[in-house]
Structure 1
Amino acid sequence: MKSRDALIRLKRFEVDEKHRKVAEIEAMIADFNQMAIDLDRQIAIEQERAGITDVNHYAYPTFAKAAIQRRDNLAASASGLEARLAAARGEVEEACAELRKIELVGDRDTDRVRPESHGVTAELETVGAHRAAS
């Protein structure tokens, strides 16, 4: 019984860890997306200041070119994290399914033990009632 409880606690810990991992990846994606939005804003400001929006123009601001490259790198990183996020969510589902199985087995075993103990108690009460009546 104790080993099953320990196993259930371990599986719950694993599920919690996997949920934290998913949340961490989601936070990283949100941060990358926010940084990309900030870079878009900076690019627009720089283009407005220079009066040039054509990236291939010889006088296009270097800062804007660098910001575009950083934004593209952030988008690629966020895209890669999306794949990791999908895998992490799959791991969470698997861990939750394992935990449910273990809990169901524990509940089933507990239910098996309870009727037997109730039967013994009822039998003892019957014997006690017969003795009291005699």
Structure 2
Amino acid sequence: MGFLDKLKDRIFNREPSDTGFMTDDEKELREYEAYYTPQSGVAEGTYSEFVVTDVFSITGRGTVVTGTVTGGVFFVGDNVLLVHNGDAGTPTTIIGIEQFRKVCESVSEGANAGFILKDIDRKQVSRNDIIKKK
């Protein structure tokens, strides 16, 4: 292994070779990263979740839920499950996404947004319900 190979290995190696100079917080973070896995049964990169904070109806458009994307990415046209009070989930489709009065095609983790849901009545949704991809 030549000098450049060793240098590349050292730069791109995610695991620190010597933890002697790491703070306790850095060591704890490394342990967390080593053992943390996405929700069981879900392939990494496919899990998406949205937590509902408010629900209202718009005449002529349908039921709108507002909230925060806590994981993954949602797109207009995605088939999702609405989990209400721990039930198995009601299937629906996202027919529109808006952020701050701007129409969007997708939203990702950390975004506050509003979803327009197909064939869902306002009474079927409440605060803290979860919307997740099928």
Which TM class, normalised by the smaller chain length?
under 0.3
Q: Please state which structure has a larger fraction of its residues in helix.
A: 1
Question: Which protein shows a greater Rg?
Answer: 1
TM-score norm. by structure 1 comes to 0.21
Q: Relative contact order: is structure 1 or structure 2 higher (C-alpha 8 Å, sep ≥ 6)?
A: 1
Q: Please state which structure has a larger fraction of its residues in strand.
A: 2
